[in-house]
Structure 1
Amino acid sequence: MTELNLPMALTFLGYLLVVLAIGVVAWFKTHTAADYFLGGRKLSAGVAALSAGASDMSGWVLLGLPGYAYLAGVEAAWIALGLCIGVALNWLLMARRLRIYSFYLEDAVTLPCYLHRRFQCPGPWLKLLASLFILLFFLFYVSSGLIGAGKLFVAVFGFDYRLSVLLGAAIIIFYTLFGGFLAVSWTDVFQSLLMVLALLVVPILALQALGGYGQLTARVEGINPALLSFGTDRQGQPLTGLAIASLLGWGLAYFGQPHILARFKAIHSPRQLKTAAAIGISWSVLVYGTSLAVGVTGLALVEPPLVDSEQVFMVMVRMLFHPLMAGFMLSAILAAIMSTVDSQLLASSSTLAEDLYPLLSGRRLSETGRVLTGRWAVAVIAAVATGVAMDPDSKVLDVVAYAWGGLGAALGPAMLLSLYWRRMNWQGALAGVMVGGLTVIVWKPLEGGWFDLYELVPGFFFSCAAIVLVSFCTAPPAAPIQQDFSRVTAVVRTP
């Protein structure tokens, strides 16, 4: 347990009070299910872009990615490059079409609901399968954020790890439970700016403390010259094609992340998407670049080597800042964690309330019932994820990688192709969701040869192949679907 630093803890508590106050204000503005799950589709371009970015970049961007760069050096830049490409393609290929299509399809709030209506599936299987994969992988995703919260509260307050996880869960549940999408989106804007500030300032001060870029490279070369090479791993061996594909492949998952795609659906007008895309892409490039810089400068600054590499940002903050400012900087980690976990809880609860509950109960809920069920779902999902996060030896990046890959492989190909391919039918969509999700589950525990490839990559392409093959081997979609697709596509092409 770390010793409590009172000034740092007080600054940190001040940040928490601001966030909780936002949740209370949003409570009074949330009246309907559309308000709770999508903010009434009233987000501005800036809020949508920054909220999408913040909900994407959980605590792993301040813990996992800097920790990986601290261990592997600039090899970690391949992950950042793949993610930046994925962000750009997500905004350019998905945002406008999904905003228009989801609204046209009777205001489809969730991805399973969108897929069900898009293909007019005659049974519940497509919606049910997509919902189950969302809940499964979000349990791991939410738990990764709570693992990060546990490590953070240990560093700030010196609490026991398990108590820290419970405290982090309680805070996140409070304002997600009461404020819904508006609270999540408003806090995301505040939190995204705090994240950028922290990621910019920490490596700049670290460089100054080291005496400049020349001293940085000299120290890292003294530790291990391979850490400064893009083409080799930390042992100095050339990166294989499988390794590069695994690192770049992280970007493929963006097409299937419900908590990120929700921002596209919630933007006030499709005309705002060009502005939102420019903000979102620029913000992502800045955050990923500075996150890598934290890890690499930490290599030279932090001695002796850390046992837990994912604490490099926290250790650097305590070294470089006065305790009052350190508390503010460490709040950025909680900001990153909360801005993602709250969005994931909301996406999971919307799936339970909008998709699974009507399927299992055989009846639809009233507006009040949908909001109430969504709130109960937030609490239940968070409780299960808290149990998963209780292992103090867990690594944020490992858990994120599994959940990120599972969602991307199960939902990404079906979502992307559904917006562009008229010949795709419900059988193809069902096959793609099933093959993508199961590939990740089966591939993950296997090792050696091709199985060293990140499970997202084969899952994504096997899912695409299943969609195309099954769609061509089964009957074309019905004429009304074709007409609807053509009609909405014409709207999409209108500036």
Structure 2
Amino acid sequence: MIVLTFMVYLLVMLGIGLWAYRRTDNLSDYILGGRSLGAFPSALSAGASDMSGWLLLGLPGYVYAAGLEAFWLGFGLFVGTWLNWQWVAPGLRTATKKANDSLTLPDYFGNRFHDRFLLRAISAVFILLFFTFYASSGLVAAGKLFVNVFEFDYFWAVTLGALAVMSYTMFGGYLAVAWTDMVQGLLMVAALVLVPLVVFQALDQSPTDILHNANPFLLDIWTNAKGEALGAVAIVSLLAWGLGYFGQPHILARFMAIESREAVAPARRIAVTWTAIGLIGAFLVGVAGLGYFAEPLADPETVFIALVQEALFHPVFAGVLLAAILAAIMSTADSQLLVCSSVLTEDIYRRLTRSKPDDRSLVWVGRLAVAAVALLAWYLALDPNRSVLNLVAYAWAGFGAAFGPAVLLSLHWPGINRWGGLAGILVGGLTVVIWKQLEGGWFDLYEIVPGFVLSTLAILVVSHLTRATR
């Protein structure tokens, strides 16, 4: 029954991809769905592509291992979601439509700062670099899912996950990604609510009682599981995840593609509500695992899978709940592949080719780009010891630091210019890459913090020094 449920789920996703394929006529349709999506699908698509497999694997595993220390991470993400919809979404929707109908983030930067190639190319390089790691995190999560549920060999588990995501993304483009994300977002949040409720009812214990019985220190947001004070570096690092939202290309694409600026406000309310329910559900899954399993799990990130596999659910419901993990994985990986494809097609191929390819040719270039990026992400995901949360953290920091300050200031500060934007993107992205290699003391601070701060300073200083230029 579980296998059958998975097959039905995948067929539904492929069916949506086929429907979207028939509605995709040009590059704008393929990259942004013709800017035709309303508030509800845009909000759920943004949330599902944001949270990914780590919401059902990484975050519950963190709570399972560290307890309410994870509060700081969840709070930072919730605030970041709200601020992103409040500060970025309305302005970016308007600006990308005015700026020569920009289709991608590098395209927006190029049009905003009157740059024909350099700024676009550097932005594209960072997107391809960090998204390769990000997409591989989804395939690692898919591998863990298929290994634990079906006892597949890890190699074939990752391969199956890559083929599943690539198939409908490659042909359906943005419409396929957005509508499948909406379905997947609803499935994810339903699973995160249902599983802990059923487990708590079976245990007849409250979450606080479970945490206290497992380890009283898990109830303290100011200490780790050993009772040691977290310290400023740890707390700031966890809260700083919220900074990453302003620079995530796959989330910003939802703002660019929403049907109108007026649709942003209702979409914001839907997205923030979905995020709150999802985060609380993920916390409760981790706590439920602590109460249910007498022996510690070998891999905390499999706690959701392990709970669903227990004899608490009918096989049909178990299949649906496990499909929710695949939904979470696919909802982000498809968005990442599409953004990489869009960048390779619009910001590199179209700029470098001497001829003027027609829209149908560009769409097929985009589809081939999806396959190429998926292949590289698949290769990186073949190491079964990679942590989903660690891979996400690195890519999240890279995008947040490289693009976050440039996006915010380009929308809210008239003084920013081409050279300031270029400096901010370079400094932010390189700071994350370099800081990640350093260890000890302040270098344990999450790399997004120094990257975001130095990127902002670079934009302000360089824009001031070159204010006579555009």
Answer whether TM exceeds 0.5 for this pair: yes
Greater Cα shift, 366-375 or 244-253: 366-375
Counterpart secondary structure, 1:397 = helix
* Aligned: 1:192 with 2:176: no
Distance 1:251 1:363, change over 3 A: farther
**Counterparts of 1:194 and 1:246, CA distance in 2:** 30
Give the CA deviation at 1:179: 0.6
Give the CA deviation at 1:364: 4.2
Structure 2 equivalent of residue 250 of structure 1: 241
Which residue, out of 41, 44, 47, partners 1:47? 41
Amino acid at match of 1:461: V
Counterpart secondary structure, 2:152 = coil
Please give the TM-score of this superposition, normalised by the length of structure 2: 0.98
Contact 1:74 1:296 in 2 (8 A): no
**Counterparts of 1:327 and 1:287, CA distance in 2:** 20
Structure 2 equivalent of residue 347 of structure 1: 339
Structure 2 equivalent of residue 100 of structure 1: 94
**Counterparts of 1:218 and 1:89, CA distance in 2:** 34
Q: Deviations over 1:400-459 (max 9, x none)?
A: 000111011111110111001111110000000000000000001211111010001110
**Counterparts of 2:10 and 2:359, CA distance in 1:** 31
**Counterparts of 2:11 and 2:117, CA distance in 1:** 43
Contact 1:119 1:477 in 2 (8 A): no
Structure 2 equivalent of residue 279 of structure 1: 270
Q: Deviations over 1:315-365 (max 9, x none)?
A: 011112122211110000010111110011000100000001134334443
**Counterparts of 2:279 and 2:354, CA distance in 1:** 45
Which residue, out of 448, 454, 457, partners 1:456? 448
Counterpart secondary structure, 1:446 = coil
Structure 1 equivalent of residue 136 of structure 2: 143
Work out the percentage of aligned pairs sharing the same amino acid.
Answer: 53
Unaligned runs of 5+ in 1: 1-6, 479-495
* Aligned: 1:327 with 2:319: yes
Which residue, out of 93, 107, 110, partners 2:104? 110
Which residue, out of 114, 134, 154, partners 1:161? 154
Counterpart secondary structure, 2:412 = coil
Alignment of 1:63-462 (within 5 A): 63-121=57-115, 124-213=117-206, 216-319=207-310, 320-462=312-454
Amino acid at match of 1:408: G
Give the CA deviation at 1:212: 2.6
Counterpart secondary structure, 1:30 = coil
Greater Cα shift, 448-457 or 319-328: 319-328
Contact 2:420 2:462 in 1 (8 A): yes
Amino acid at match of 1:347: V
**Counterparts of 2:361 and 2:15, CA distance in 1:** 25
Distance 1:31 1:75, change over 3 A: same
**Counterparts of 1:114 and 1:218, CA distance in 2:** 51
Distance 1:249 1:46, change over 3 A: same
**Counterparts of 1:306 and 1:351, CA distance in 2:** 41
Structure 2 equivalent of residue 4 of structure 1: none
**Moved beyond 2 Å, runs of 4+:** 216-223, 358-365, 475-478
Amino acid at match of 2:178: S
Contact 2:415 2:467 in 1 (8 A): no
**Counterparts of 2:102 and 2:385, CA distance in 1:** 40
Give the CA deviation at 1:368: 1.1
Unaligned runs of 5+ in 2: none
Contact 2:210 2:287 in 1 (8 A): no
Amino acid at match of 1:14: V
Distance 1:364 1:248, change over 3 A: farther
* Aligned: 1:59 with 2:53: yes
Contact 1:423 1:476 in 2 (8 A): no
Give the CA deviation at 1:476: 3.5
Please give the TM-score of this superposition, normalised by the length of structure 1: 0.93
Q: Deviations over 1:359-415 (max 9, x none)?
A: 433444321121011101000000000000000111100100001110111111101
Q: Deviations over 1:248-267 (max 9, x none)?
A: 00010111111111111111
Aligned length: 469
Counterpart secondary structure, 1:57 = helix
